[in-house]
Amino acid sequence: MITPRYAHERGHAEHDWLDSHHTFSFASYYDPEHMGVSALRVINDDVVKPGAGFATHGHNDMEIISFVKHGSIEHKDSMGHIQNLPAGEFQLMSAGTGVTHSEYNPSDSDTLNFLQIWIQPNQFGIEPGYQQKRFPTGPMQLIASPDADQGSLLIHQDARLYHIKLDAGQDSALAGLAGRTLYVHMVRGEMDVENTQLSEGDGATLTDINEFKAHSQTGAEALLFDLP
């Protein structure tokens, strides 16, 4: 079964420096019908003006993933990391017992567009951690897993994150999903999933399937969450 969550249905917050779309309830946007899917709690599509960003703030007991669509993030945290996260790389911060960090757009001319993703962990009170990596692109690339399989980022949850990148006319598939909950989020392009056409910003929950199958006629990029 597939339940779409179309881009225009998302929550929206606009500030002087930030334009954000919320797939699930977040901050002042609250919708009891959209509180998350399984352990997936947040997908925010953030556009940040040049020279602006999120000042130092704190998190605890959350797995926080950032993926830059355009531009780069200047990241600083209380663990001592000072990093630049460019488009195409993945960052995973395990907040654990507590961490503070800031995220800025270092450009004085270009906007920053990135996805901020929160996944609730199944281990609490762990030591905070930071990971960042660029992966090969392909129809189905593993990005994060609970055992760091295939060189993926280690996530403290029975969950896997895949990056899908399809050329025009290309297919992608993932089997062995009985009893799992899936969520797919479109980064760009158009993709057909379970006879449902999804475009940039759209998402969908998939349940009661054994295999995920996707096809794109024009080319597409998406994130696929395999959840408990």
Domain limits, the chain: 2-227
The confidence score (pLDDT) of residue 28 equals 94
pLDDT band at 37 (very low <50, low <70, confident <90, very high): very high
Burial of 202 (0-12, 13-18, 19+ CB in 10 A): buried
Q: Put residue 124 in one of left, alpha, beta given phi > 0 → left and psi -120 to 50 → alpha.
A: beta
Q: To the nearest whole number, what is the mean pLDDT of the chain?
A: 97
Q: Put residue 176 in one of left, alpha, beta given phi > 0 → left and psi -120 to 50 → alpha.
A: left
CA 177, chain centre distance (Å): 20
**What 3-state DSSP class applies to 66?**
strand
pTM score, two decimals? 0.97
2-227 in CATH: which number? 2.60.120.10
The confidence score (pLDDT) of residue 21 equals 98
Residue type, 122: N
Summarised one tens digit per residue, pLDDT across range 179-228 is 999 999 999 999 999 999 999 999 999 999 999 999 999 999 999 999 99
